[in-house]
Amino acid sequence: MAEIGHGGREIKERILDPVEAQKKIKGLPQVPIRSQLANEVIDIAYGWFTPLEGFMGKADADAVCKKMELSDGTVWSIPILFDMNNAEISDYGIKAGNSVLLTYQDNPMAIFEVEEIWDYDMDAMCQNVYGTADEKHPGVARTKRYKEKFLGGKVTLVNRPQINPPFEPYFIPPLEMRKRFKKRGWEAIVVHQTRNVPHTGHEWLMKGAWAQAYGGLPIEKPLVGVLVNAIIGEKRKGDYIDEAIILTQDELRKSGYFGDHNHLTSLTFWDMRYAGPKEAVFHACIRINLGLTHHMYGRDHAGVGDYYDPYEAHRLLQGIPKDKLNIVPVYSMNWLYCPHCGEITSEGLCNHKEEWQKFSGTLIRSIVMDGVKPPRLIFRPEVFDLVMECAEKFGFGSPFVTDEYLAKRTPVFSIPPLSA
């Protein structure tokens, strides 16, 4: 039976077997690509980006920027673009109608059928997607680094990525993910989008969303699951290292704060755009393809700085008809710790405002940097211990991204030599 993803389109993996791949790539110009494009090739080929079959042409990109949808009317909020400069296009002899072989880490990765070469006003794109053209915004800065031309066309993987330790168990593409949900008997699955190590505020957000997702389901069996979907992509100095993010999220299950019957950890390759409300919609699109029925949205989802109102993503999502975005948003306010109540609570639930302690990212990071184990109501001890272990094992002494980590880390995935 076909698996139907976002936009009512069947999820298909665009991957050639090795023998066919060897034949197809003969004589093709080889074009090396950077990590962002390699991540997006994987997302396209395995179906994370359904209904996209490749990088966008101008009609789709223009519709996304102006109307938050593809040219066929499917909701989509972030342009997926392949950029090159004029000199590269000339040097590689690329023309519309030709195909090229995309390489990564000096090995064949994918065939790119170039259908269109086009350009766009980048200030207008930034204003429409991010609500600003200010280059202090990291998404704007990334977008304005694009080269002057874009290539649109279909992408087919010729070489499956080799997922490196400790990430192998967490690479679960859409078709495989849906099989796992069915095996568990989950009738509703709520996703926790993250790029952080979990503190107890995150844990209680997940537990609250899990409870909300039970609405309308029979209560006799544990039919609701929580999927932690960690975003793994380009790292900035000061971010948590990828290994700590993925392993500590799974530790909540291993240490019993969730169970095998209601919790699963996975990853998605994506370089965050920090587009706030527009990225919230994009996250919904890719999680529909993973088979999710519910999506958590907290305060300032995927935002940065003060570019967006804390609940702007909530309002944007509320305005999209269910038949256009077939996933149930689970909204939450700001979670915090109330020492008077002695529990995790939400803003406005109790009357001890003067005592509330917010889960500040800066505070949590300072706790981690100090290396002194905090109270378990702030950080689960097993999680904290694992953060420290990851710092030594993977982070060259730090749980946060440093220049040394960027230079020496083992890549999350590798593209091996292509063998028939």
What stretch(es) of the chain map to CATH 3.10.400.10? 6-160
**pLDDT one-digit tens code per residue, 141-193:** 999 999 999 999 999 999 999 999 999 999 999 999 999 999 999 999 999 99
Beta strands in 233-272 (DSSP E): 263-269
Residue 37 one-letter amino acid: L
Q: Which CATH number fits domain 6-160: 3.10.400.10, 2.60.40.2230, 3.30.2310.20, 3.40.50.10140?
A: 3.10.400.10
What stretch(es) of the chain map to CATH 3.40.50.620? 168-414
Tokens at residue 390, please? 């990851």
> How far apart are alpha carbons 413 and 11 in whole angstroms?
23
73 torsion bin: left (phi>0), alpha (psi -120 to 50), beta (else): left
Beta strands in 119-262 (DSSP E): 149-157, 162-163, 188-194, 224-232
Q: How far is CA 386 from CA 168, 249, 250, 252, 398, in A?
A: 18, 10, 11, 11, 12
- Sign of the alpha-carbon torsion through 92, 86, 136, 55: negative
Superfamily of domain 168-414: HUPs (3.40.50.620)
The pLDDT mean for the chain works out to 93
Q: Is the pTM above the cut of 0.75?
A: yes
pLDDT along the chain (420 residues), means of 10: 95 96 95 98 98 98 98 98 97 96 98 98 98 96 97 98 98 98 95 91 89 77 89 90 97 96 97 96 98 93 92 96 94 82 81 82 73 78 95 95 95 90
**pLDDT one-digit tens code per residue, 305-317:** 899 999 999 999 9
Q: CA torsion, points 369, 375, 380, 382, in degrees to nearest 10? A: 70
- Token look-up 């003067």 returns 354
